Amino acid sequence: MSEHIVVAQPVDDDGLRRVRDLVGPARVDHIAPYGAGDRLPGALARTATVLFADQLPAGVEDLTALRWLQLGSAGFAQVAGAPLRPDVAVTNASGVNDIPIAEWCLLMMLTLRRRLPAMLAEQRARSWNRAAAFQAELRGGRVGFVGYGNVGQEAARLARSAGLEIWTLTRSAPGPRTGRFDPLDRPASDWPEPDRAFGFDRGAEFYAGLDYLVVATPSTSSTRGLVDAAALAALPSHAVLLNPARAHVVDESALREALNSGAIAGAALDVHYRSPLTADDPVWDLPNTVITPHVSGSTGSTYFLPRLWELFHRNLARHLAGEPLLNLIDPADLELGR
């Protein structure tokens, strides 16, 4: 079967040129990124063998030739339940967003621990109140990661450089990330081994020892509501929660209760139960909570698009050679309608 590559991503001229050079005479179409509910234009849907996009188009049943979907995001909830054929490989963009998300995590830990929102409020009030601005340090604290994939490990590198101890909570023992895209091409042995690793059966002990909790696992049927009322109740009252992953991993009502009651000290939320948040959404009123509009993985850096296209180029080369793809998502996690 001849290849037909359809790219629905922001263009990187060098990246697109490298793709055309790699596939030779095969057809390559670059189209504007499409939204949810949009169909691929014309006959592209019937002949595309490779699709590089943020989500599936409407009319999935028309993608009769598709063999591989490369997502432009690390998250893949947007394709959950899609009626794709079982022979269609799906890969995500894990590794592309890790650096900005890790920086967001460090920024939010500093923002909350150094009481930046309170100091900005004092500034707006033109109030010189040193006592109200008393702060704590990151160094010597402990951060726990629920999930320890690419994002968790990248954030752990920064956290450790700031003097934080690393704990993890994972279904299986954490280890080096194999078969994943690393834009820095670090050897598998160069990974931030946690100071302590916990299985799900020791969750209460894990949560009770934390100063910072970072949600770093995708949303699947097995992780939805994983951070529940019991988990939040086990956190120390000075702990803060950071969620750059998926909102529904954390039970919404339990989180709102924990914040409103002061059971935990604060939160930073980049992912939300409703998106976009309307002006009357109760999330806006949560105390000591920093809200960002799902931008932790976004960056205006000149490195971002080249990283995304580098991943696609490497995976396209593997696809053409019949080799295993990087960032291949387990069909069980995709929960496709098969």
Q: Which two tokens stand for residue 262?
A: 């002061």
Kindly report, residue by residue over 279-327, the tens digit of the pLDDT. 999 999 999 999 999 999 988 888 899 999 999 999 999 999 999 999 9
Decide if 230 is inside a domain.
Answer: yes
Same domain for 202 and 243?
yes
Give Cα separations from 247 to 85, 178, 272, 328 (angstroms): 28, 27, 5, 23
Same domain for 23 and 80?
yes
Domain that holds residue 315: 4-96+301-334
pLDDT of residue 337: 44
Whole-angstrom Cα distance, residue 146 to residue 152? 8
Same domain for 273 and 194?
yes
Same domain for 200 and 328?
no
Q: 3-class DSSP state for residue 294?
A: coil
pLDDT of residue 259: 98
Same domain for 147 and 135?
yes
Whole-angstrom Cα distance, residue 54 to residue 70? 8
Whether 338 shows a pLDDT value over 60: the answer reads no
Kindly report, residue by residue over 173-224, the tens digit of the pLDDT. 898 878 999 999 998 888 999 999 999 999 999 999 999 999 999 888 889 9
Domain CATH code at residue 105: 3.40.50.720
Whole-angstrom Cα distance, residue 131 to residue 117? 15
- Number of separate domains in the chain: 2
Same domain for 232 and 90?
no
Same domain for 180 and 234?
yes
Predicted confidence band of residue 331 (pLDDT cuts 50, 70, 90): confident
Whether 7 shows a pLDDT value over 70: the answer reads yes
Does the bond joining 236 to the residue before it have cis omega, within 30 degrees of 0?
Answer: no
Decide if 296 is inside a domain.
Answer: no
Predicted confidence band of residue 37 (pLDDT cuts 50, 70, 90): confident
Kindly report, residue by residue over 237-281, the tens digit of the pLDDT. 999 999 999 999 999 999 999 999 999 999 999 999 999 999 999
Decide if 148 is inside a domain.
Answer: yes
Kindly report, residue by residue over 112-156, the tens digit of the pLDDT. 999 999 889 989 999 998 876 677 899 999 999 999 999 999 999
Kindly report, residue by residue over 57-80, the tens digit of the pLDDT. 998 999 999 999 999 988 888 888
pLDDT of residue 269: 99
pLDDT of residue 306: 93
Same domain for 182 and 224?
yes
Decide if 223 is inside a domain.
Answer: yes
Whether 336 shows a pLDDT value over 80: the answer reads no
Q: Which residues contact 59 (CB under 8 A, 6 or more apart)?
A: 39, 40, 45
Which of left, alpha, beta for 313 (phi over 0: left; psi -120 to 50: alpha)? alpha
Whether 4 shows a pLDDT value over 60: the answer reads yes
Measured at the CA of 270, the angle between CA 116 and CA 106, to 5 degrees, comes to 50
Kindly report, residue by residue over 225-236, the tens digit of the pLDDT. 999 999 999 999
Q: Is-contact 300 48, C-beta < 8 A?
A: no
Same domain for 83 and 15?
yes
pLDDT of residue 1: 64
For the chain, what's the residue count? Answer: 338
pLDDT of residue 253: 97
pLDDT of residue 252: 97
Give me the DSSP letters along 93-120.
-TTTSHHHHHHHHHHHHHHHHTTHHHHH
Same domain for 90 and 65?
yes
